[in-house]
Amino acid sequence: MKFLGTKATVMPLVAITATLAFGMPQAGAQGLFDMLFGGGVRHGPKGEFPPPPPKHRPKASADGGGGAKISSPSYYTYKADKLVRVDFSTLSAAPQPATPQDAAFVPSATGAAFHDAIAGLSDYELYAEPDIAKTLIAYYSANPDFIWVSGTSPNNRAQDAVRVLGEAASYGLMPADYTVDVPAASSASTDDAAKLKELVRFEMALSARVLRYAHDAQNGRVEPNRMTGYYDFPAKPLDMVGVLKTLAHTQEVRTYLESRHPQNAEYQALRVELESLQASAENEIVVDPKLLLKPGETSPELPKILALIARNLDDEMGGSYGEVLSRLATSEVYVPELVPLIKAVQQKEGMKGDGVIGPRTVATLAGTSKADRLLKVEVALEELRWLPSDLGSPRVFINQPAFTASYIDDGQEKLKTRAVVGRVTNQTAFFYDQIKQVDFHPYWGVPQSIIVNEMLPRLRSDPGYLDRAGYEVTDSRGKHIPSSAVNWGAYGANIPYNVRQQPSEANALGELKILFPNKHAIYMHDTPQKSFFKQDMRALSHGCVRLQDPRGMAAAVLGTSVDYIAEKLKHGHSTEDVTRKIPVYVAYFTAWPDMSGKVEYFSDVYDRDSRLKQAMDATEAVRSPSS
């Protein structure tokens, strides 16, 4: 097969022989590859970018901004919308029109009572989100009648709404956010004016809290894009006036409000898990899930680990390590005698057996604490509310904490493959999009962040590096420029050139990539670095998603066979459009159900759960004065 990579520079045999005979300077194997092959085109790269620059770099010119960097997205201190007092003055002061403002409005027998009751709102202090406050005035100005009151008491519609709001905890929501004081049953001695005042205030409070509930059920309590630049979700508009209109004309209040929640099997499975957790007891032995203990170190968590091992000791392990385990059961020092025991336990559980007691060892032995699982499930429910209610079929679902990518069609997981996602310093964003095409033997357009942060330091001292290593440099008009002809030292964070790596065996994207164009420049692709898939923790890339089975995923999204993909790869660089609508979710869930509904738990590799918890707490802090 032909590739478009540049030919390696061939050193004279004598020079090679002399080099090998007298030894290389201590520059490492990559230095040898560079010397022999002019940048290592014939050898797999160590990452998605060239190897690190030499230790001794010449200073950049004064206008070059030698220390310039392109920073990754950041996390923000979450600020929830402050509540505002609903201004009922415009409602009470508005003269009643001869004909209703809303053509669909038909006044009921309580219409006149509602008109009389409005005066009772003049000094009423009801606080709500700004859009909800506006909705109350807009709706009741156009529809001057009760929704939740019939005669002199709350009606059946109100009773159903209050019950649904009271069950908010079953969805991972806070019942206190939706609490409404329900008027007591009226009596003959009740003052009519006072009762009417109580009823109209109940009417407004219940409408405000029902709107909050409908919003939270559909969109979540937190606006994700305010949390971090790594989150990218389109708005999910909610016609709040339409919500009240619907509720005013239906007796199926429960059905309607529950329909505001995501209507997918994953959401229901998480709700079942939440209910199970809320009813369960805490784990008997709780170990710090972030424990990292190496031989020779000390931790009060070690006796807990040893107790868990002792509890599940079988005859074989007991015969080999029972005496050591019994003698050192209370030791907080990870002494050498315990290392073989830990390694044996790790190997038995399918781990590497390195003797380091880390989060995966803890999770395997102790499971996840109830409190941690509850938080993960509540967070997952919130995050699912950011996604479409119907996730679509077929679809591709990438779960970053699980390091997996799946192709799901007709309720079945047709393909599941290991994946590598972004490092903590180069995190993969959380968003969804639609798959557009598959590129065979792709070019790799190097992101500006990698050019500036990782290539530029080397290029300042070795301008021809890209020419030798199979990269193309073009200017803003697309004209090819030799890398060696560019004065790289003159540039900082703003480089007026594009760099792309030609198709080759060393191309960072491997033999194919699957595109879903997005502003984060994230896609799925193959990789020369197959060894990464053997690791348990696979947050190792620059942000794109590497697949262990890229051919299988390409075949799935194209609706064809792996044999077809293999044949396409025989013919060099080409592209093929995906003709079906296939949404792709580049998601982040530390609790997620498998296809049978069993919820699995994963490590919070980017520490996003705690950030979301802070955002939810900030929302509660704003809402609490009104609850």
Q: How does pLDDT run across 494-534, given as a tens digit for each residue?
A: 889 999 888 887 888 999 999 999 999 999 999 999 999 99
Q: How does pLDDT run across 430-472, given as a tens digit for each residue?
A: 999 999 999 999 988 888 888 888 889 889 999 998 988 889 9
| Closest CA relative to residue 96, chosen from 151, 140, 129 | 140
Residue 480 has what pLDDT?
A: 92
| Closest CA relative to residue 144, chosen from 205, 102, 182, 199 | 102
**Around Cβ 163, how many Cβ atoms within 10 Å?**
12
State the chain's maximal CA–CA distance in angstroms.
Answer: 113
| Closest CA relative to residue 341, chosen from 361, 369, 366, 363 | 361
CA dist., res. 92 & res. 538, Å (int): 61
Q: Where are the domains of the chain?
A: 84-277, 283-368
What predicted TM-score, i.e. pTM, was given to this entire model? 0.79
CATH 3.30.300.30 fits 283-368, yes or no: no
Q: How does pLDDT run across 17-27, given as a tens digit for each residue?
A: 333 333 333 33
357 beta partners:
293
Residue 29 has what pLDDT?
A: 34
CA distances from 151 to 114, 273, 621 (A): 10, 42, 37
| Closest CA relative to residue 508, chosen from 8, 37, 52, 47 | 47
> SS3 for 536-582, per residue?
CCCEEECCCEEECCHHHHHHHHHCCCHHHHHHHHCCCCEEEECCCCC
Q: How does pLDDT run across 214-240, given as a tens digit for each residue?
A: 999 999 999 999 999 999 999 999 999
Residue 338 — left, alpha, or beta (φ > 0 → left; ψ -120 to 50 → alpha)? alpha
CA dist., res. 463 & res. 424, Å (int): 30
